[in-house]
Amino acid sequence: MKFIKVKNYEQMSRQAANIISAQVIIKPDSVLGLATGSTPIGTYKQLIKWCQKGDVDFSEVTSVNLDEYVGLDIENDQSYRYFMNTNFFDSINIKKENTYVPNGKADNLEEECANYDAFIKSIGGIDLQLLGIGLDGHIGFNEPADCFEKNTHVVDLHESTIKANARFFESVDDVPKKAVTMGMVSIMQAKKILLIANGKNKEEILNKALFGPITPEIPASILQLHPDITVIFSEE
Binding interface with ligand GLP (CB under 6 A): 35-39, 66-67, 132-134, 140-141, 161, 165
- Nearer to ligand GLP among residue 59 and residue 201 (C-beta): 201
The catalytic site residues sit at 67, 136, 138, 143
- Nearer to ligand GLP among residue 38 and residue 207 (C-beta): 38
- The DSSP symbol for 39 reads T
Amino acid at 197: A
For residue 196, what is the enclosing H or E element?
strand 192-198
Residue 139's Cβ-count burial label (10 Å; 0-12, 13-18, 19+) is: buried
- Least distance CB 126 / ligand GLP (angstroms): 15
- Least distance CB 41 / ligand GLP (angstroms): 8
- Nearer to ligand GLP among residue 97 and residue 101 (C-beta): 101
Residue 215's Cβ-count burial label (10 Å; 0-12, 13-18, 19+) is: middle
- Least distance CB 133 / ligand GLP (angstroms): 6
Phi first, then psi: what are they for 178, rounded to 5°?
-130, 155
- Least distance CB 132 / ligand GLP (angstroms): 3
Do residues 177 and 191 lie in contact, with contact meaning Cβ atoms separated by under 8 Å? no
CA gap 98, 32 in Å, rounded: 11
Torsion (CA) 132, 222, 129, 156 in degrees, nearest 10 = -60
CA gap 122, 120 in Å, rounded: 5
Beta bridge partners of 67: 181
- Least distance CB 189 / ligand GLP (angstroms): 18
CA gap 192, 196 in Å, rounded: 13
Q: Residues near 190 by Cβ (< 8 Å), separated by ≥ 6?
A: 33, 125, 126, 127, 128, 129, 226
- Nearer to ligand GLP among residue 12 and residue 56 (C-beta): 12
- Nearer to ligand GLP among residue 38 and residue 86 (C-beta): 38
